[in-house]
Amino acid sequence: MHLPLLAHGSGTTYSLMTAPLIDPFQRAVNYLRVSVTDRCDFRCVYCMAENMTFLPKKELLTLEELDRLCTSFVDLGVEKLRITGGEPLVRRDIMTFFNAMGRHLESGKLKELTVTTNGSQLEKYADQLYAAGVRRINISLDTIDETKFAEITRWGRLPQVLKGIDAAQKAGLRVKINAVALKGFNEDELIPITQWCASRDMDLTWIEVMPMGDLGNEDRLDQYWALSDLRNTLRETYTLTDLAERTGGPARYVRLEETGQKIGFITPLTHNFCESCNRVRLTCTGQLFMCLGQEDMYDLREPLRASADNAMIEDAIRAAIRLKPKGHDFDYSRQKVDGQMTRHMSHTGG
């Protein structure tokens, strides 16, 4: 029997089945990032080993199961859904899933459906993504130098990605470039990448490298480029104005007055952004990670497959949200990689 629940201070009565997802620190969880596959057609050096062992396909949730889980989250108040991988667009029949999620946009329950991609498949899928209701995409791109791009992605080809960006913009998708800041690799491209994004009317976000997976993380100290240093370098060329804007993610934004473009900074190591965290991450195997920087997770695959009734799934989701921690443990300050996660980023979802 479900008893009524009075939302604190709102005067609104919810049933337990429709009450919003609130974590132990009174943060409303309304943003779900979903990894639909651990596979990728690149092997970026900070994300994957060159000879990755991928999960057996039988362990992955089917597209129908992903639909059920995401729909349950939407029914519980999730308003933003970001599809990730691996590379999400290499999953077979993935547009079936995007089209299914589009019905939640049409109903008004879902406010935004977005995707993070390496751009390799956008020439093929950009128009279909727009038709499914996607309006914004994030493209992971750490260099615009073709030789360096081949080096950091191992298998990637920059011209293919640039064609994908062309296709995305032609389709009407708003493009944001995500670049991982790597000392000794793309430091010299800070201004060129900024100018290139400005010339194409694309926003840009820089991300500090994070200790994820068994990729020789002690080397991350050599790669680590604090975004505070990056900001100071930008100030030598541009006038930076801090923006109060938040997009539901961890980025903090500035505007470059000379170009008008927006630059974001995601700084899990030099600034703990957890106080306003509103997101959780679902892996392609049905594990829900309440924090990117913690190993604690909650298995949703078992209740999903145990019953055709969604009540078990919703109970499991609520139980998981009650375990969401206050913050992560990433830390480079003591000259070692504290808080290193043993799982690869491609499994959790970028």
Compute the Cα dihedral for 244, 144, 188, 350 and give only its sign: positive
- E-state strands within 24-183: 31-35, 80-84, 112-117, 136-140, 174-181
68 marked ligand binding residue:
no
Give the pLDDT band of residue 348 (cuts 50, 70, 90): low
Distances (CA, A) of 127 to 88, 119, 202, 290: 16, 13, 18, 33
Residues pairing with 204 in the sheet: 177, 263
- Tell me the C-alpha distance between 196 and 265, whole Å: 18
Q: Answer yes or no: is pLDDT of 11 > 70.
A: no
| Listed range (32-41, 246-255, 337-346) with the worst mean pLDDT | 337-346
For position 166, what pLDDT does the model report? Answer: 98
- Tell me the C-alpha distance between 239 and 218, whole Å: 35
Answer whether residue 202 is part of any domain.
no
- What is the percent of the chain with per-residue pLDDT over 70, rounded to a whole number? 81
User: What does the pLDDT look like over 25-79, one tens digit per residue?
Assistant: 899 999 999 999 999 998 888 787 777 888 888 899 999 999 999 999 999 999 9
- Tell me the C-alpha distance between 70 and 113, whole Å: 11
40 marked ligand binding residue:
yes
Report the chain's mean pLDDT, rounded to a whole number. Answer: 85
Give the pLDDT band of residue 276 (cuts 50, 70, 90): confident
What 3 state SS string does 195-231 have? HHHHHCCCEEEEEECCCECCCCHHHHHHHECCHHHHH
Residues pairing with 253 in the sheet: 243, 264
334 marked ligand binding residue:
no
246 marked ligand binding residue:
no
Burial, 98: exposed, middle or buried (Cβ in 10 Å; 0-12, 13-18, 19+)? buried
Answer whether residue 46 is part of any domain.
yes
For position 329, what pLDDT does the model report? Answer: 54
Answer whether residue 334 is part of any domain.
yes
Answer whether residue 294 is part of any domain.
yes
Residue 205 CA to chain centroid, in angstroms? 12
- Which token pair is 232? 């100071």
- Tell me the C-alpha distance between 314 and 292, whole Å: 22
Q: CB 94: neighbour CB atoms within 10 A? A: 23
Q: Answer yes or no: is pLDDT of 269 > 90.
A: no
Answer whether residue 328 is part of any domain.
yes
Task: Give the CATH number for residue 48.
Answer: 3.20.20.70
90 marked ligand binding residue:
no
Give the pLDDT band of residue 248 (cuts 50, 70, 90): low
For position 338, what pLDDT does the model report? Answer: 47
281 marked ligand binding residue:
yes
322 marked ligand binding residue:
no
Answer whether residue 284 is part of any domain.
yes
pTM: 0.85
Residues pairing with 177 in the sheet: 139, 204
Residue 33 φ then ψ, to 5°:
-105, 130
User: Helix, strand, or coil here: 256?
Assistant: strand
User: What does the pLDDT look like over 218-244, one tens digit per residue?
Assistant: 455 577 898 999 999 999 999 999 998
User: What does the pLDDT look like over 132-186, one tens digit per residue?
Assistant: 999 999 999 999 999 999 999 998 999 999 999 999 999 999 999 999 999 999 9
Residue tagged 């290499």 (tokens): 90
197 marked ligand binding residue:
no
Range of the domain at 35: 22-175+273-348
298 marked ligand binding residue:
no
255 marked ligand binding residue:
no
305 marked ligand binding residue:
no
47 marked ligand binding residue:
yes
- Total of domains in the chain: 1
For position 241, what pLDDT does the model report? Answer: 97
- Tell me the C-alpha distance between 315 and 208, whole Å: 35
44 marked ligand binding residue:
yes
Answer whether residue 196 is part of any domain.
no
274 marked ligand binding residue:
yes
Answer whether residue 96 is part of any domain.
yes
Distances (CA, A) of 92 to 119, 159, 187: 16, 23, 37
102 close to 143: Cβ distance less than 8 angstroms: no
